Amino acid sequence: MKMFKMYAFVFGIAWRSLLAACYAGTVHYVSLDGGHVSPFTNWVHAATNIQDAVDVALDCDTVLVSNGTYSLVAEIIVTNNIVLESLAGPEESVINAASEHRSLNLLSDQCTISGFIFHREWDREPDYSPPLYGGGILSASKLNLITNCVIRYALWYEGTVSGCTVVDSIISNNYSVGLSGCVVSNCVITGNRSGGLEGCSVVDSEITHNADTGVLGGAATNCLISHNSGCHKGGGMHGGTAVNCTISDNSAELGGGVFGGIVINCLITGNYAHEDDVGYGHGLGGGMYEGSAINCTISGNGAFWYGGGMYRSEAWDSVIRNNGAREGERRT
């Protein structure tokens, strides 16, 4: 936990230093009604598409995007350490990608993206081979920052947002896992069809109503992990570490709340391990399956067969009570 806080502190210094320097650079404007005269340094000469303005922006420049919906014919590629931001926030600025490509490819080391809705239209199951990372946003560096954004309806399998830092944003209703390999703070990750997060460090966030597990690996601190479902293992959390989290009302065949991993100072409640599709197998470990709990409260969980609270798990300095199963509250 101390290491994570130090990690976040270092990132915070880097972001503040970048923003202070970048806002001193040149501003390049984007408007659907602009005159499209390069280098787009006022609203009259504004670029009519985002990519052209990004292409002329140097390190520490800003690309400022006016209100409207910007439909992409290809992914936006960012190579320099710029600030790309909307004029009036995500409610007014939408970047709409076609189903064949992602929205952003961040090849920069330390750029900032702020104040957009990233949206993709799709009405079919994806068939990409091989699967690609970052169906919505792909980043080459964790120092690339996404803030005050909404990312939704991305298709590709290996992470809607991959490899960056995401703050104060909503990642929702994507076909792929919501976030992969990211540093995450104060976000809502909800309604994603292939999991909420994979291999992320996440703090102060809500991970809810995702299918195929809420949190896969990584580390979660001060989070709500609730109403997620696992196809097989770990409805709320599969592996990784959780500290000071509430893990509630999740479901899976093995470990309705937690499968594997370590939970510390957590409340694990209202989770359920249900039977398999055949109707008579699994249903083991409503609260936890093959995990370790330290100073936790595990209560009000249920299992179709064994271990309403825990199954094949270990607990230290914890309270385990009021769990239910056909064959007992706890099996070790």
**pTM for the model:** 0.89
Its domain, for residue 236, covers 212-332
Contacts of 122 (CB under 8 A, 6+ apart): 99, 153, 155, 175
Does a cis peptide bond (omega within 30 degrees of 0) precede residue 39?
Answer: yes
Q: What is the mean pLDDT of the chain?
A: 88
In a domain, 10, yes or no: yes
Residues 87, 175: one domain? yes
329 or 194, greater pLDDT: 194
- Is the domain of 173 the same as that of 219? no
- Let me know whether 222 and 140 are in one domain: no
User: In terms of C-beta density within 10 A (0-12 exposed, 13-18 middle, 19 or more buried), how is residue 150 classed?
Assistant: middle
Three-state secondary structure call for residue 16 = helix
Q: Note the pLDDT of residue 6.
A: 46
| 271 in the same domain as 300 | yes
DSSP H or E stretch at residue 331: strand 330-331
Helices (H) and strands (E) in the chain, counts: 2, 41
Looking at residues 271-283, what average pLDDT do you find? 79
How confident is the model at residue 54, as a pLDDT? 98
pLDDT the model gives residue 136:
84
Look at residue 4 and tell me whether its pLDDT is greater than 50: no
Query: How far out from the chain centre does Cα 236 lie?
Result: 14
- Residue 190 resides in a domain: yes
Q: Do 147 and 252 lie in a common domain?
A: no
Q: Is the pLDDT of residue 48 over 80?
A: yes
Rounded Cα gap, residues 200 and 167, in angstroms:
13
Please check whether residue 72 lies inside any domain of the structure.
yes
Q: Domain count of the chain?
A: 2
pLDDT in tens, 161-206: 999 999 999 999 888 899 999 999 999 999 998 899 999 999 999 9
Render pLDDT for 92-150 as a digit per residue (tens, 0 to 9): 999 998 767 789 999 999 999 999 999 876 555 555 554 555 678 999 999 999 999 99
Mean pLDDT of 9-33: 69
> Which pLDDT belongs to residue 281?
67
Q: How far is CA 145 from CA 34, 247, 249, 274, in A?
A: 27, 28, 32, 39
By C-alpha distance, which of 283, 284, 196, 282 is closest to 245?
196
Q: What are the percentages of helix, strand and coil residues in the chain, rounded to 5?
A: 10, 40, 55
CB 131 within 8 A of CB 102: no
Whether residue 2 has pLDDT greater than 50: no
Task: Note whether residue 204 is domain-resident.
Answer: no
CATH number of domain containing 181: 2.160.20.10
What pLDDT shows up at residue 119? Answer: 86
Q: Give dist(CA 228, CA 271) in Å, integer.
A: 10
